[in-house]
Structure 1
Amino acid sequence: MRGGKAVLDEIRRFVARRGLLEPGDRVVVALSGGPDSLALTLALHHLRTEWGLDLHLFHLHHGLRGEEADRDAAFVREVADRLGLPCTVIRRDVRSEARSLRAGVEAAGRLVRYRALADLAGQLGARRVAVGHTRDDQAETVLMALLRGAGRRGLGGMPPARPLGFGAGPEVTLVRPLLAVGREDTLALCRAAGLEPRRDLTNEDPRFLRSRIRTELLPLLRDRYSPAVVFRLAALAEVMRDEEGFLRRAAAEAAARHGVTYDPRESRLPVPALTDEHPALARRIVRLAGESAGMSLTARHVEAVLDLARSPGGGEVHLGRGLVAEKVGDVVRVRRRERVGRAVTAEGGQPVPLPVPGSVAWASAGLTLSATREDPDAEPAAGPWAVDLDPDRLPGPLAVRTRRPGDRIFPVGMDGSKKLQDLFVDLKVPRPDRDRVPVVVAGDQVVWVVGYRADRRFLAAPGRPRLALRARPG
């Protein structure tokens, strides 16, 4: 086991090499009280003076472990006092939230945790949210992906940095400064500081796949096959991420050479782009067409599109959720087929019903809004022009209209509720544009201010049915 100074030096080098933090950053640090998050807190506190970091600790009291959870929260407050750092402890009944969302406790806990982190980062104006995932966590993630049959992107595991999401702005980044060190290293840091971290036995619960991999599979592989298995799996993840990034760029360049056009309404793939290029690039050209339409295509569907491109004559392949690939002449078109409902042009200030499935044309903003039902395991929405809602939580049928006096929303990434007027002011929406912004309502409740914010009360949780709302030009 390395000493505390060696571990700190390794973390410092990794943070600098990956550009995870910049001098003067305000950072929200997720501290559960366990060894990994405690080591993260100690490491960033050590770097605080050198890098001019402004640290704020965060702890979620999830209400799952009774008095043990109370002691976790008390321990976090003691650490914050000892280090002289501000600390926010938020209490949530995750079990009740799981029942409300009809999701597992683990999924609900993750959703509640990251939403709370996004809200706090927004309140504090923090650009970074740091979590304590280690090299061992990375190895577990790669094994989970391997067992599920993932490709290169899945085998890339957890990136050192990514947009936080969960309603936080695009400038808020989730960072993982401990990916270069292991669990033994985090324990060394805690002991060097004279602190005994808390232990959460739910991390060893065999009902969860990750727990079984952590307590059964990885020890078996380490003891019986390779003592360096964790290092090798983490190194594999880094190679896979780098190669996936390179191949995606190469595919984008190949697509440009062949005149491929990507559009949410209809992507056009000239046949030579799919038949003349290396299969690794051709597959990614097809995947990019799916992503443009808001879908993550399965390997089976990608191969079906390539077979269609190679086949003589025309034809059509159904890709699921209303998406089809159609070969017409020398072009494969990937487009979404409207299954039910027709576009309705919205005029005046009256609400226009939004059928499910179906669409509404919003002429004043140059947009078409669509609503479709999605599978629980579908790729989640991303960006300001897409939102996934839980149909069982909506208080009424969907409609589209302009804002009205007194309209309120509980905006994702912000605290409490806001009047739409105040939301537009906060987001610096030009005054002439405010009466053209489409507002999606369910009954008398605002659920989405299109292009700006959704109401966090109605968002779909992992594993729940999804009502996918999308906005596209046209």
Structure 2
Amino acid sequence: MSERVSRYIKQQGMVSDGDEILLAVSGGPDSVCMLYIMHKLSCEMGFSLRLAHLNHSLRGEESERDAAYVAELAAALGVPLCQQKVSVKAYQAEHHLSTEEAAREMRYAFLCRTAAEYGSAAVAVGHTTDDNIETVMLHLVRGSGTRGLQGLRPVLNRTVAGEGCLRVIRPLLGLSRAETQNYCCEAGLSPVQDVTNQSTDLLRNRIRLEVLPMLRGINPAFEETILRTAFIAGEEMALLDEVTSQMKAELVIRQDNVLMIEKIEMQRLHPALKRNLLRQMLEELLGGLKDIEARHIESIIQTLDKPAGRRIDLPYKLVFQVDYEHYLLGWEIDELCPYPPFQGEYRLGVGTETILDGWTVKTEVLPSPVGLDLSESTLVAYLDMDKAGSDLAVRTRTEGDQFQPLGMEEAKSLKEFMIDNKIPRSWRARVPLLFSGAEILWLVGYRIGQSAKVDENTRRVLRVEFKLQN
């Protein structure tokens, strides 16, 4: 088994000569097996060890027993040990987490701090193929998407909120749980047993104790099938991540707490690249993907073709918002209003270009409505020239403005229309309005008015284009 672990470590590039590896040892069979194998290999492969044990204080005397047992192992092998005792229950209540989530967060925070304090190159955890299979099934049940099929990775960089980045290695990922237990038995070791592993209150335990045995009855080679699927998914996701990272570096711009990408660039991407790019953007902002589910990504995807101003609220008060020319993801997005501020009223000539504060407005008359590209841009409008007239002006909203949007039989308050169309409050005073006399012909970027729509009787078309100045 030591030779198998040695080959796996070398194959995955887990350890370099001279590294210190921090071993996360709970006292159970998997971590004890890892400790003894890694202790043997440390001399052969030229790395050193340090042990880490976190007492979660969840099982009273059993938790104290586990901590004492790990201390005995460290002393027997002459390996330095870092221990800490915490209250998972208190942390759980403060952060409104499940016991399992709270314990995991506190454990990885402890490991990250300890690795940073002693300069450890990586933290080794004792996950086995059984853990990998259970993780894949857990991800499928929770709906984590294709990415969840890859299960546990041999090596990963894990971002720990408030602590930094932690390099995690899994040297036993090629061994089964039965093999680690046999190793301990044959070596005369007596690892501790966590009785909570037999409780079906936890979803992972229910999968291990109830679901997997049933699936083995259907397909005796079920484990091999899952592991093969996880391996293929991992290889494909690694390639997708590499390609996406290159694209992200080229396309995504960060401004304070907001990530921006041009709409036209995003719309050109394959759906798989869109999803992965959004995932990487979320991960950059949050430092991880905790509480981000496939449904959040899909809700953003379904919003990409919505008009400017549409927004989605995400976990941790993140917001995704559609702009005229960009998609925005982050916090305090309203402060990045795309509309330049301007005041006063501007007269527009027909067949001319007019410079406003931050805008260039071009008007031209087309001799026929045939062949109009109505999907050209949200900043281009086509109106019936004879209905619109030549008395054109641009201003922003004023109190009491009324607007009859295209397709509606009656006018409504402009304020009500802006609210219904989810135009952010901070944007509304900047949205240009195209007028003819007292009639709103176009709420720029959103909707033209009913009064000047192009129909079967239209002879001449007035094309109006707003361009943002650089």
Q: Equivalent residues in 2 for 1:227-242 (5 A)?
A: 227-242=220-235
Task: Identify if the C-alpha distance between structure 1 residues 95 and 128 changes in structure 2 by more than 3 Å, giving closer, same or farther.
Answer: same
- Find the counterpart in structure 1 of residue 73 from structure 2: 79
Amino acid in the other structure paired with 1:127: A
Is the CA contact (8 Å cut-off) linking 2:143 and 2:293 kept in structure 1? no
Q: Equivalent residues in 2 for 1:18-57 (5 A)?
A: 18-57=12-51
**Which of the numbers 184, 193, 209 marks the counterpart of 2:178?**
184
Counterpart-to-counterpart distance in 2, 1:114 and 1:30: 10
- 1:202 Cα deviation after fit: 0.8
- 1:139 Cα deviation after fit: 0.7
**Which of the numbers 78, 82, 89 marks the counterpart of 2:83?**
89
Is the CA contact (8 Å cut-off) linking 1:322 and 1:339 kept in structure 2? no
Task: Identify if the C-alpha distance between structure 1 residues 50 and 146 changes in structure 2 by more than 3 Å, giving closer, same or farther.
Answer: same
- 1:159 Cα deviation after fit: 1.9
- Find the counterpart in structure 2 of residue 366 from structure 1: none
- Find the counterpart in structure 2 of residue 221 from structure 1: 215
Is the CA contact (8 Å cut-off) linking 1:271 and 1:309 kept in structure 2? no
**Which of the numbers 117, 129, 138 marks the counterpart of 2:132?**
138
Is the CA contact (8 Å cut-off) linking 2:300 and 2:312 kept in structure 1? no
Q: Do structure 1's residue 209 and structure 2's residue 177 form an aligned pair?
A: no
Task: Identify if the C-alpha distance between structure 1 residues 280 and 76 changes in structure 2 by more than 3 Å, giving closer, same or farther.
Answer: same
- 1:210 Cα deviation after fit: 0.7
**Which of the numbers 258, 271, 280 marks the counterpart of 1:265?**
258
- Find the counterpart in structure 1 of residue 167 from structure 2: 173
SS in 1 for 2:71: helix
- 1:20 Cα deviation after fit: 1.1
- Find the counterpart in structure 2 of residue 409 from structure 1: none
Is the CA contact (8 Å cut-off) linking 1:289 and 1:334 kept in structure 2? no
Amino acid in the other structure paired with 2:83: V
Is the CA contact (8 Å cut-off) linking 1:26 and 1:54 kept in structure 2? yes
* Unaligned segments of structure 1, at least 5 residues: 1-6, 343-474
Is the CA contact (8 Å cut-off) linking 2:25 and 2:31 kept in structure 1? yes
- Find the counterpart in structure 1 of residue 190 from structure 2: 196
TM-score norm. by structure 2 comes to 0.62
Amino acid in the other structure paired with 1:240: A
**Which of the numbers 10, 21, 25 marks the counterpart of 1:16?**
10
Structure with max Cα Rg = 2
- 1:285 Cα deviation after fit: 3.8
Is the CA contact (8 Å cut-off) linking 1:29 and 1:56 kept in structure 2? yes
Task: Identify if the C-alpha distance between structure 1 residues 298 and 110 changes in structure 2 by more than 3 Å, giving closer, same or farther.
Answer: closer
Task: Identify if the C-alpha distance between structure 1 residues 27 and 338 changes in structure 2 by more than 3 Å, giving closer, same or farther.
Answer: closer
Q: Do structure 1's residue 60 and structure 2's residue 54 form an aligned pair?
A: yes
- 1:57 Cα deviation after fit: 1.8
C-alpha RMSD over aligned residues: 3.2
Is the CA contact (8 Å cut-off) linking 1:40 and 1:132 kept in structure 2? yes
- Find the counterpart in structure 2 of residue 390 from structure 1: none
- Aligned identity (percent) is 33
- 1:122 Cα deviation after fit: 2.8
Amino acid in the other structure paired with 2:196: T
Q: Equivalent residues in 2 for 1:350-361 (5 A)?
A: none
- Find the counterpart in structure 2 of residue 316 from structure 1: 310
Is the CA contact (8 Å cut-off) linking 1:308 and 1:327 kept in structure 2? no
Q: Equivalent residues in 2 for 1:106-125 (5 A)?
A: 106-125=100-119
Deviations 1:422-458 (CA, angstroms, capped at 9, x unpaired): xxxxxxxxxxxxxxxxxxxxxxxxxxxxxxxxxxxxx
Counterpart-to-counterpart distance in 2, 1:247 and 1:265: 24
Q: Which runs of 4+ in 1 moved over 6 A?
A: 339-342
SS in 2 for 1:23: coil
**Which of the numbers 314, 320, 326 marks the counterpart of 2:322?**
326
SS in 1 for 2:201: coil
Counterpart-to-counterpart distance in 1, 2:249 and 2:57: 52
Q: Equivalent residues in 2 for 1:75-474 (5 A)?
A: 75-166=69-160, 167-170=162-165, 172-222=166-216, 224-252=217-245, 261=253, 264-271=257-264, 273-274=266-267, 276-291=268-283, 293-294=285-286, 299-300=294-295, 302-303=297-298, 305-307=300-302, 309=304, 316-320=310-314, 321=317, 323-326=319-322, 328=324, 331-336=325-330, 338=332
Is the CA contact (8 Å cut-off) linking 1:261 and 1:269 kept in structure 2? no
SS in 2 for 1:199: coil
- 1:164 Cα deviation after fit: 4.7
Amino acid in the other structure paired with 1:91: K
Is the CA contact (8 Å cut-off) linking 1:308 and 1:315 kept in structure 2? no
Deviations 1:38-68 (CA, angstroms, capped at 9, x unpaired): 1110110110111122212222233333333
- 1:146 Cα deviation after fit: 0.2
Give the stretch that moved more between structures: 10-19 or 158-167: 158-167
- 1:176 Cα deviation after fit: 1.1
SS in 2 for 1:37: helix
Between the two structures, name the one with larger relative contact order (CA 8 Å, sep ≥ 6): 1
* Unaligned segments of structure 2, at least 5 residues: 337-470
Is the CA contact (8 Å cut-off) linking 2:21 and 2:48 kept in structure 1? yes
Task: Identify if the C-alpha distance between structure 1 residues 27 and 286 changes in structure 2 by more than 3 Å, giving closer, same or farther.
Answer: closer
